[in-house]
Amino acid sequence: MKVTDPNCLRLISNQKNLLNAIPEMVLLVKNAQSVEYMNPSAISFFGNLCSSNTKMKPNEKKLLGIILNIVDTAHANKSFGETIATSYENTHIEYTLAPFEGYKGDKLQWFFIRDLTDNKNQLEELSLFHNSIETILAHKISELKESERMRKSLTNELNSLKEHLQEQPSEGNMVGSSRALTELRDMVFQVAKSDATILITGESGTGKELVANLLRESSNRNDKPFLKINCNTISDSLLESDLFGHERGAFTGADSKRKGKFEVVDGGTIFLDEIGDISPRMQAALLRVLQDGEIIRVGGNIPIKIDVRVIAATNRDLTVMVQEGSFRLDLFYRLNIINISIPPLRERKEDIIDLTTHFIRKYRQAFKKDISFLPQSILDKLLMHNWPGNVRELQNVIQRAVLMAKNNAITENELFFDMQPGGHEDNSKKNYLDQIDGKSLKTIIAEIEKDVIEFSLKKNRGKVAETVEQLEIGKTAFYDKMKRYNISPKDHSY
């Protein structure tokens, strides 16, 4: 049928112009069997797949098959007007179908197609890029986490090193910045290098052994043997053979000769602790060592030259013992060439703060506690206490407190001062009147007398001469009373 109506011709021409101009690909498909029309953008994309093209190439035939198949499926699903995405081989398309009524009433379909391959590829590239950025970021984050972990572990190491370093020098050192302690420390370093005999005196717990260690460490003999002997723990005869050795047959059981400690330590240092407790016989033997630099083995008579530096310590007053005749004056002079006297803690209370900090740090680490705070009230109590047990007592008090502390601070609940020997505080008094029932006056007076003697001895740190002077009693009578009440000045010398 030839169209001649100018209006129809105008409509057809307008429609053709529109289809030629739009960038979308447009195909007109008949009965999902043949392509009747393709606009220029469809032809340039697929080639000419129209039924009028009788010289179709194989790949065009294949394409035609694919397109007809898509149209067939869409037609069967009645998906007119919907935009559907699909892909074939490596091509991604999006299409919309619309019905078209033919001239003879036959059913055709408009097939609008958009090529999404480039978009899709770009999206894929983007997502690849995105994924790789994500991978790089994840990698960087884990690197950062790792370096943060390293930083933390290094900080911990540094902190523990710092604590260790802070701890290290003070562990063997004398903590305290009071004038007395500063002078004492200076003196220790000054006399350490000489070979002179040194006598360290001071109440129990003031740090005599600490000073002895420091003397030896700072001396020229610091790489030579160092022997510590506690003179009051071994029996006298054992001490003698222990120190000077013995010849074969010197006493029962001595079936071979043995070198004593002075010979073994030759070239090194010997620390004689509690020197005030040695017997007159030992005193004589020691005098020979200090005077002539030689020893004689027990049971022998040949002097043996030795080179030993002697450091001695005691918490007893050797001058009183000399006066009382229980310590040799010549030995005292020999020992006392250099005297290092450590003042009791109550006379250098400035050291209490340094020492408290030092012990808190030490036990905080040892007991894995996080103590970081000491209330002023506690510090006041520490400063007010009299410290009869000196630094050792302070160390005990802090050790207990740190161990018992519940949070990060030491409170009054954890603060206990050492009990004095006898089970009661130094200054607590008995209420005698509560206890006199059923006792004779003689017994009551004897109890009071015993308490007074013990109290006074304690006050004078075991010094008999000062006690008799204070109580205005003769020395012989005083010794008699001590014997009667079984009191020993030694028990009250700390």
Ligand X SMILES: Nc1ncnc2c1ncn2[C@@H]1O[C@H](COP(=O)(O)OP(=O)(O)OP(=O)(O)O)[C@@H](O)[C@H]1O
Query: Rounded to whole angstroms, how far apart are CA atoms 103 and 221?
Result: 125
Query: Rounded to whole angstroms, how far apart are CA atoms 368 and 191?
Result: 39
Q: Which is nearer to ligand X, 210 or 234 (CB)?
A: 210
DSSP 68-87: HHHHHHHHHTT-BT-EEEEE
Contact 298, 241 (CB under 8 A): yes
Q: Which is nearer to ligand X, 394 or 464 (CB)?
A: 394
30 binds, among Mg ion, ligand X, none (CB under 5 to 8 A by kind): none
Binding mask 292-331 for Mg ion (x = CB under 5 A): ----------------------------------------
**SS3 assignment, position 411:** coil
CB of 210 to ligand X, least distance (A): 4
Instruction: Pick from 209, 350, 454, 491 the residue near ligand X by CB under 6 A.
Output: 209
Query: Rounded to whole angstroms, how far apart are CA atoms 205 and 489?
Result: 18
CB of 470 to ligand X, least distance (A): 24
Other CB atoms within 10 A of residue 7 CB: 8
By C-alpha distance, which of 351, 366, 404, 354 is closest to 163? Answer: 366
CB of 263 to Mg ion, least distance (A): 25
Angle at 398 between CA 205 and CA 384, to 5 degrees: 75
Instruction: Pick from 391, 402, 410, 453 the residue near ligand X by CB under 6 A.
Output: 391
**Is 277 near Mg ion (CB under 5 A)?**
no
Q: Which is nearer to ligand X, 26 or 345 (CB)?
A: 345
Q: Which is nearer to Mg ion, 65 or 172 (CB)?
A: 172
CB of 385 to ligand X, least distance (A): 16
Provide the pairing of β-strand 226-230 with 338-341: unpaired
**Is 176 near ligand X (CB under 6 A)?**
yes
Contact 182, 321 (CB under 8 A): no
Terminal Cα-to-Cα distance of the chain (whole angstroms): 138
For Mg ion, the binding residues in 472-491 under the rule CB under 5 A are: none
Query: Rounded to whole angstroms, how far apart are CA atoms 112 and 492?
Result: 115
207 binds, among Mg ion, ligand X, none (CB under 5 to 8 A by kind): ligand X
Instruction: Pick from 95, 198, 202, 239 the residue near ligand X by CB under 6 A.
Output: 202
Q: Which is nearer to ligand X, 67 or 211 (CB)?
A: 211
Helix, strand, coil percentages in the chain from 3-state DSSP, rounded to 5: 50, 15, 35
Residue 423 corresponds to which tokens in the numbers above?
A: 């089970």
CB of 209 to Mg ion, least distance (A): 4
Q: Which is nearer to ligand X, 180 or 465 (CB)?
A: 180
Residue 102 corresponds to which tokens in the numbers above?
A: 């033919």
**Is 209 near Mg ion (CB under 5 A)?**
yes
**Is 415 near ligand X (CB under 6 A)?**
no
Binding mask 342-361 for ligand X (x = CB under 6 A): -------------x--x---
**Is 42 near ligand X (CB under 6 A)?**
no
97-105, 188-196, 204-212, 244-252 -> range binding ligand X (CB under 6 A): 204-212
CB of 136 to ligand X, least distance (A): 56
Query: Rounded to whole angstroms, how far apart are CA atoms 47 and 32?
Result: 18
HSE toward the beta carbon, residue 287, CA cutoff 13 A: 14
Query: Rounded to whole angstroms, how far apart are CA atoms 465 and 472?
Result: 10
For ligand X, the binding residues in 281-320 under the rule CB under 6 A are: 315
Instruction: Pick from 30, 208, 216, 297 the residue near ligand X by CB under 6 A.
Output: 208
**Gyration radius (Cα) of the chain, Å:** 53
Query: Rounded to whole angstroms, how far apart are CA atoms 223 and 216?
Result: 9
| Residues near Mg ion (CB under 5 A), total | 2
Instruction: Pick from 84, 191, 210, 404 the residue near ligand X by CB under 6 A.
Output: 210
Q: Which is nearer to ligand X, 353 or 473 (CB)?
A: 353
CB of 393 to ligand X, least distance (A): 9
**Is 392 near ligand X (CB under 6 A)?**
yes
Instruction: Pick from 19, 113, 174, 289 the residue near ligand X by CB under 6 A.
Output: 174
Residue 30 corresponds to which tokens in the numbers above?
A: 């008949």
According to DSSP H, which parts of 173-235 are helical?
179-192, 208-217
- Measured torsion, CA atoms of residues 87, 89, 91, 92, in degrees rounded to the nearest 10: 10
CB of 379 to ligand X, least distance (A): 18
CB of 423 to ligand X, least distance (A): 20
DSSP 193-211: TS---EEEE-STTSSHHHH
CB of 366 to ligand X, least distance (A): 13
Instruction: Tell the burial category of 2 from Cβ atoms under 10 Å away from its Cβ (0-12, 13-18, 19+).
Output: exposed
Q: Which is nearer to ligand X, 75 or 392 (CB)?
A: 392
* Interface ranges with Mg ion (CB under 5 A): 208-209
* Interface ranges with ligand X (CB under 6 A): 174-176, 202, 204-210, 315, 355, 358, 391-392, 395
